[in-house]
Amino acid sequence: MGDYHFVYKDVEGSSTQWDDIQRKLGNLPPKPPAFKPHPFTPAQDQHYKPNSIDHKTQEDLEDFEDDPDDRRFLQKIGRERLAKMKRVAKAAKFGSIIPISGSDFVHEVSQASSDVWVVVVLYKDGYPECGVLMQCLKELATTYPATKFVQIVSTDCIPNYPDRNLPTVLVYSNGAVKASYVGLHKFGRRCTPEGVAMVLCQSDPVLNDGQSGGEGSREAVLEGVRNRFIEKVVTLHENDDGSASE
């Protein structure tokens, strides 16, 4: 029989005490670092797509749910989360103030979807009060993208409408006027987005951010407005402290 040579190989990266002594004396090269596999991250899973569904439209989400290759991922995130994202994607259809003309009014306001509140601001350029209110409404339009905000030159909407009434805000639902606010003073001594939001929701849940699918009560909307106001004040306070400390 031929000679057989067996080579014992320990676990990769390990060494004997003798080897360690020789390395300290410089007789052996430094021990190579032990192999460590890269930690698993969700991006390595082909079924996981970071941020792939957080900003999709209603149609995209429905297609995503029907795709058999993504069913395992859907089980991970849960049907409840997907349903919420669908509601938000469906509701959040505006997000800014839409300029309209007199000929657009019926289509954009009177014939708006029955589940959409429409806030109409009558204005004219060159009036400081209109500019102040418009800034507040722009912030609210961004914060509550499921509520429709439109702006129209006052005399395009109502012929001979008195300039002394500017700005004027009309609130519509189901094609009917639910509330009207004539003049900037209707929104308090200091016109702020939070103050305007509180006035708009005095009687109805006008403002909708899409989180509740349009089913929020007036009380729930007002509570949300208060919470946003508190968070805003706290954030401004923290920023002021940070800039002062620098």
Average pLDDT, the chain: 77
Whether 100 has a pLDDT exceeding 90, the answer reads yes
Averaged pLDDT for residues 209-223: 70
| pLDDT confidence tier of residue 23, bands split at 50, 70 and 90 | confident
Whether 50 has a pLDDT exceeding 60, the answer reads no
Does one domain contain both 78 and 146?
no
| pLDDT confidence tier of residue 38, bands split at 50, 70 and 90 | low
| pLDDT confidence tier of residue 13, bands split at 50, 70 and 90 | low
Report the percentage of the chain scoring pLDDT > 70. Answer: 62
Q: In this structure, is residue 87 part of a structural domain?
A: yes
- Measured CA to CA, the distance from residue 36 to residue 45 in angstroms comes to 19
Whether 22 has a pLDDT exceeding 80, the answer reads no
Better-predicted residue by pLDDT, 78 or 52: 78
Q: What is the pLDDT at residue 203?
A: 86
Does one domain contain both 202 and 126?
yes
The range of the structural domain enclosing residue 65 comes to: 46-91
Q: Which helix (H) or strand (E) holds 81?
A: helix 79-91
**Domain ends where: 91, 118, 144?**
91
The strands making up 168-173's β-sheet, listed across from edge to edge, are 97-99, 148-153, 118-123, 168-173, 176-182
Whether 154 has a pLDDT exceeding 70, the answer reads yes
Does one domain contain both 226 and 104?
yes
Q: What is the pLDDT at residue 68?
A: 62
Q: In this structure, is residue 180 part of a structural domain?
A: yes
Report the percentage of the chain scoring pLDDT > 90. Answer: 40
Does one domain contain both 129 and 223?
yes
Does one domain contain both 61 and 148?
no
| pLDDT confidence tier of residue 54, bands split at 50, 70 and 90 | low
Does one domain contain both 154 and 185?
yes
Q: What is the pLDDT at residue 155?
A: 97
Better-predicted residue by pLDDT, 212 or 100: 100
Does one domain contain both 61 and 172?
no
Does one domain contain both 62 and 175?
no
Q: In this structure, is residue 245 part of a structural domain?
A: no
Whether 238 has a pLDDT exceeding 60, the answer reads yes
Better-predicted residue by pLDDT, 13 or 201: 201
Does one domain contain both 212 and 132?
yes
Residue 130: count other Cβ atoms within 10 Å of its Cβ: 21
- Measured CA to CA, the distance from residue 137 to residue 189 in angstroms comes to 16
Q: In this structure, is residue 1 part of a structural domain?
A: no
Answer yes or no: are the C-beta atoms of 204 and 173 closer than 8 Å: yes
Does one domain contain both 125 and 70?
no
Does one domain contain both 105 and 224?
yes
Better-predicted residue by pLDDT, 38 or 107: 107
Answer yes or no: are the C-beta atoms of 53 and 85 closer than 8 Å: yes
Look-up of token digits 């509180």 = 198
Q: What is the pLDDT at residue 29?
A: 77
Q: What is the pLDDT at residue 30?
A: 77
Q: What is the pLDDT at residue 15?
A: 58
**17, burial (CB in 10 Å: exposed 0-12, middle 13-18, buried 19+):** exposed
Q: What is the pLDDT at residue 20?
A: 72
Q: In this structure, is residue 66 part of a structural domain?
A: yes
Does one domain contain both 109 and 194?
yes
| pLDDT confidence tier of residue 7, bands split at 50, 70 and 90 | very low
Q: What is the pLDDT at residue 47?
A: 47
The number of folded domains in the chain is 2
